[in-house]
């Protein structure tokens, strides 16, 4: 419950303005005036219920449900019942009204949605530290259980989380870290899995803005500078494309976009590259009218138009063959369809081109809600059941009595994060399977008995073991034997949850098979210790991310009272914060370290090779900078070298100085900090 105070005339004006915006957006989703009147009724009810209540920001509380409802209609594309539920989603929790009151006024469906949202919020806000189990893990289980009843509850919850992220600056830092970590661990992957790219991208950028503010501001500034410099070139790139498509008779629109700060930062981190080395910074989206295709037979026509546009634009510009992504023929599991290619402009910049029909674009922007809309209109497509299949799979995990909430959270997170590849049966039938899956996983995908009796496989006509990791385009044949049965060692390399469950169930009564310990009991790699400081705490530097003084960090109080310190961007830390939000603390480096300490870092180096290059690097670090080198791994091929150096530094300033000085050595093109692998 927020603080209570009288509203001013200005407050009432802001409320009226924001609801007028929502009402206008809702008008497009309401079938008739009666539905719009229900939206008005819900607003009047919620406005009265929250009267005089303010948020932490000081603004009237009612502005929050209005904003959530606007995300629900504008970003997700849901209908009037969801808009009504969004307006009412905090009433039962924060006022004296009950779900029965909502049911009497707005009907069973709206009451059911509000009830689901209320139960989620009740667990989210419950931080009883006396409880031993993870409150947050139970909360996410409850969130996902609503998939059993109505996916709209999850979608409205995503809208609620997005608006909380938008206003997160008003939260204390430990609460902010908890919310952002939950967001990265579950809500962002969930938004991706449900096809809500706008919601996902905005959450990612907010996460980066608060977790790594310097990186966010630096990348944003570089994007703006580059966009200003390249605007004319992008426009010139589009001109002949527009002319050629018009000449071919297409009805279309072209939109320009640039990679988001988070997507750039993530690529820099995972690839070990600098901003200037990201060549697909700019994208052009071609959205064409496919003449209102409304039956399955015409899907091929829509696809043919994508390929036709591809042939037209690649006749104008050369394309990068290894950057073509055909999600028209092979849609993503969340329903995304488009044809991507990267073209070289006449002025020498790479431009990614995304080709979509209007239907494909709607699904890309609105995700599952757009699927429903097209399905309702009778538009059939090959991939329309993929979302339903995923939801069924999640339900199977949720109702498994042998999976506790913490294990479930890890299972769902891993399932949300994974991507799929396309492989083929011996007869040429296409099958989708998780990236990283083995030949044995594929056997279980075909049939349980095929997996149970598998002894080997042929991939592209070559004999391989069952542990062989599949790649996109592989043709897979499973070799079986009638007397074969599952082996305990299969659990060491099986990837998919379906295959692992079948094999685990087979050995459930066999006490010699070791089960994977619960997530909270798994042994972690021993972190680096830090010495008995002034505030009485013993701080431990996490070995999973190796933060150094100057990094933005988050701390977790361990059962023994020690505080483990992670980078705020550490994926392991995000997982911990998602489960144990009550254990978060906000450490400061002046309490953690003293001036005598040094910390390990890894620097990736790339450049032009020459005689004496490695000698110059090591001499400079050892004798000029007086830096202790832990490990050196550099290779050279065809005149170009790359590799990494592990060394010790005192803090970020020390690291920046070393990086700047290394860049002055002749031939070095880039020096980038990497994560040190465990």
Q: For residue 539, is it left (φ>0), alpha (ψ between -120 and 50) or beta?
A: beta
CA distance linking residue 236 with residue 37, whole number of Å: 48
Q: How many CA atoms lie within 13 A of 223 on its CB side?
A: 19
Contact 454, 479 (CB under 8 A): yes
CA distance linking residue 611 with residue 598, whole number of Å: 32
What DSSP line would sit under 44-77, residue for residue?
Answer: HHHHHHTTTEE-TTSSBTTHHHHHHHHHHHHTS-
Question: Looking at 59, 93, 218, 415, which residue is catalytic?
Answer: 93
> H helices within 183-297, ranges in order?
188-193, 197-211, 213-247, 261-271
CA distance linking residue 112 with residue 6, whole number of Å: 32
Task: Report DSSP state, residue 515.
Answer: P
Question: Looking at 94, 242, 616, 642, which residue is catalytic?
Answer: 94
What DSSP line would sit under 139-197, residue for residue?
Answer: HHHHHHHGGGT-HHHHHHHHHHHHHHHHTGGGS-HHHHHHHHHHIIIIIHHHHHHTT-H
Q: Read off the tokens for 69.
A: 């409802």
CA distance linking residue 337 with residue 299, whole number of Å: 12
Task: Report DSSP state, residue 329.
Answer: T
CA distance linking residue 175 with residue 166, whole number of Å: 14
93 has catalytic annotation:
yes
- φ, ψ of residue 180 to 5 degrees: the values are -65, -35
CA distance linking residue 40 with residue 641, whole number of Å: 66
CA distance linking residue 530 with residue 315, whole number of Å: 61
Buried b (16+ CB within 10 A) or exposed e, 249-282: ebebeeeeebbbbbbbbebbbeebbeeeebebbb
Contact 557, 569 (CB under 8 A): no
204 has catalytic annotation:
no
Cα-based distances in Å from 528 to 155, 546, 627: 41, 8, 20
Active-site annotation, residues: 93-94
């Amino acid at each position: 419950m927020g603080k209570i105070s009288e509203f001013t005339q200005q407050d009432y004006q802001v409320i009226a303005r924001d609801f007028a915006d929502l009402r206008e957006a809702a008008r497009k989703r309401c079938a008739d005036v009666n539905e719009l009147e229900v939206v008005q009724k819900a607003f009047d009810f919620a406005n009265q219920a929250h009267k005089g209540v303010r948020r932490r920001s000081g603004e009237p509380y009612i502005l929050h449900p209005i904003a959530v409802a606007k995300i629900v209609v504008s970003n997700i594309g849901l209908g009037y019942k969801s808009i009504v539920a969004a307006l009412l989603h905090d009433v039962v929790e924060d006022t004296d009204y009950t779900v029965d009151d909502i049911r009497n006024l707005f009907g069973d469906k709206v009451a059911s949605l509000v009830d689901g949202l209320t139960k989620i919020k009740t667990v989210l806000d419950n931080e009883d530290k006396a409880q031993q189990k993870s409150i947050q893990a139970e909360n996410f289980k409850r969130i996902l259980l609503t998939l059993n009843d109505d996916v709209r509850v999850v979608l409205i919850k995503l809208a609620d989380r997005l608006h909380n992220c938008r206003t997160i600056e008003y939260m204390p830092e430990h609460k902010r870290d908890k919310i952002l970590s939950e967001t990265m661990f579950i809500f962002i992957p969930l938004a991706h899995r449900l096809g809500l790219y706008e919601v996902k991208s905005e959450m990612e950028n907010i996460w980066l803005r608060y977790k790594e503010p310097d990186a966010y501001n630096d990348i944003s500034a570089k994007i703006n500078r580059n966009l200003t410099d390249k605007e004319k070139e992008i426009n010139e790139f589009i001109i002949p494309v527009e002319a050629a498509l018009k000449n071919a008779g297409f009805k279309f629109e072209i939109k320009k976009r640039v990679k988001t700060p988070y997507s750039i930062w993530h690529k820099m981190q995972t690839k070990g590259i600098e901003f200037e080395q990201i060549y697909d910074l700019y994208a052009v989206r071609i959205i064409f009218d496919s003449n209102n295709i409304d039956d399955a037979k015409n899907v091929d026509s829509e696809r043919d138009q994508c390929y036709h546009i591809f042939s037209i634009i690649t006749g104008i510009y050369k394309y990068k063959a290894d950057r073509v992504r055909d999600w028209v023929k092979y849609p993503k599991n969340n329903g995304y369809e488009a044809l991507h290619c990267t073209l070289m402009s006449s002025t020498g910049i790479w431009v990614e081109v995304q080709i979509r029909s209007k239907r494909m674009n709607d699904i890309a922007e609105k995700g599952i809600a757009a699927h429903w809309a097209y399905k309702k209109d009778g538009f059939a497509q090959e991939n329309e059941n993929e979302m339903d299949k995923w939801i069924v799979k999640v339900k199977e995990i949720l109702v498994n009595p042998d999976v506790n909430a913490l294990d479930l959270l890890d299972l769902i997170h891993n399932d949300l994060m994974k991507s799929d590849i396309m492989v083929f049966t011996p007869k040429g039938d296409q099958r989708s399977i998780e990236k990283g899956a083995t030949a044995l996983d594929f056997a279980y995908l075909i049939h349980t008995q095929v997996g149970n009796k598998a002894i080997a496989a042929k991939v592209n006509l070559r004999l391989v073991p069952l542990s062989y990791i599949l790649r996109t385009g592989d043709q897979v044949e499973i070799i079986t034997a009638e007397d074969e049965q599952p082996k305990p060692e299969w659990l060491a390399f099986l990837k998919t949850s379906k295959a692992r469950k079948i094999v685990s169930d087979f050995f459930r009564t066999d006490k010699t098979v070791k089960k994977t310990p619960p997530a909270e009991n798994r042994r972690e790699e021993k972190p680096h210790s830090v010495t008995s400081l002034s505030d009485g705490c013993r701080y431990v530097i996490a070995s999973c991310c190796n933060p150094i003084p100057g990094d933005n960090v988050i701390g977790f109080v361990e059962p023994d009272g020690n505080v483990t310190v992670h980078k705020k961007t550490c994926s392991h830390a995000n997982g911990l914060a998602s489960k144990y939000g009550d254990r978060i603390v906000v450490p400061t480096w002046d309490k953690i370290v003293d001036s005598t300490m040094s910390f390990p870092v890894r620097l990736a180096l790339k450049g032009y090779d020459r005689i004496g290059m490695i000698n110059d690097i090591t001499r400079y670090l050892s004798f000029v900078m007086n830096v202790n080198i832990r490990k050196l791994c550099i290779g050279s091929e065809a005149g170009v070298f790359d590799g990494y150096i592990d060394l010790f530094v005192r803090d970020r300033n020390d690291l920046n100085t070393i990086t700047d000085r290394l860049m002055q050595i002749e031939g070095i093109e880039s020096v980038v900090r990497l994560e040190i692998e465990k």
